[in-house]
Amino acid sequence: MKKISFILNGEKRNAYVEPNDLLVDVLREKLGMHSIKYACGRGDCGACTVLLNGKGVRSCIILAIEADGQEILTVEGLSKDKLTSLQESFIDQGSFQCGFCAPGMIMSATELLNKNPNPTEEEVKEGLSGNLCRCTGYTPIIKAVLDVNEKDVDKK
């Protein structure tokens, strides 16, 4: 066992891990971040997406030990105080059915909007192309991401 420390959702956290422990398991099982979903286990579906140093990554193919000294953001951290306008937009558009893909979708879309606050539909599709949804047909999800932008424009 090796002790690792990292910033999780703005707070310093420690965990004892084996070299072969996966980040997704440590975050879910040891640190209670149940928004993260484990599905394909090979980086193809995006359900386990978290932001590592601000970038969307697949926590199912990262060793927990690699996170030592890094910064991680999950949905729990994103909405610590209140829902983000992206999350509100997901609710408005009914972008959930079973909801399993939503945390990963939201983390990937958050990364996209941080980098590019006014994405085109094509850019949204590219940004989310590694996140699979088996219910919605994607239309309401893409609309929700585009809508955040419109909402923010309305506010101005």
Partner 1 sequence: MAIVHEFEYFKPERIEDVIKLLLEYKGKASLLAGGTDLVVRIKDEIESPAVVIDIKGIKELKKLEFKEGKLHIGALVTFADLIDSDVVKEQFPLLWESSKTVASVGIRNRATLAGNICSGVPSLDSGPALLVYEADIVVRGAEGERVIPALNWFLGPRRTALKEEEFVREIVFSLPVKKHGGSYVKLGRYKGEDLAQVGLGILALEGDEYRLAFCAVGPVPGRAKKIEALLNGKPLTDSLIETAKSLVSEEISPITDVRATKEYRIHIAKIMLERGIKAAVERVDGKGPAYGERLI
Asked if residue 147 binds partner 1 (CB under 8 A), the reply is no
Contact window for partner 1 (CB under 8 A) among 6-14, 80-88, 122-130, 140-148: 122-130
Taking the C-alpha atoms of 37, 41, 43 and 46 in order, what is their torsion angle to the nearest 10 degrees? -20
Burial class (CB in 10 A: 0-12, 13-18, 19+), 12: exposed
Nearer to partner 1, 20 or 156 (CB): 20
Alpha carbon distance 86, 149 (integer Å): 9
CA distance 114 to 19: 32
> Binding of partner 1 at residue 22 (CB under 8 A)?
yes
* Closest to 142 measured CA to CA, from 154, 82, 126, 134: 126
Closest approach, Cβ 58 to partner 1, in A, equals 5
Query: Is residue 125 helix, strand or coil?
Result: helix
Between 55 and 80, CB nearer to partner 1: 55
Among 13, 66, 76, 151, binds partner 1 (CB under 8 A): 66
In this complex, which beta carbon is closest to partner 1, that of residue 37 or of residue 58? Answer: 58
- Interface ranges with partner 1 (CB under 8 A): 2, 18-22, 25, 41-44, 46, 49, 52, 55-58, 61-63, 65-66, 108, 111-112, 125-127, 129-131
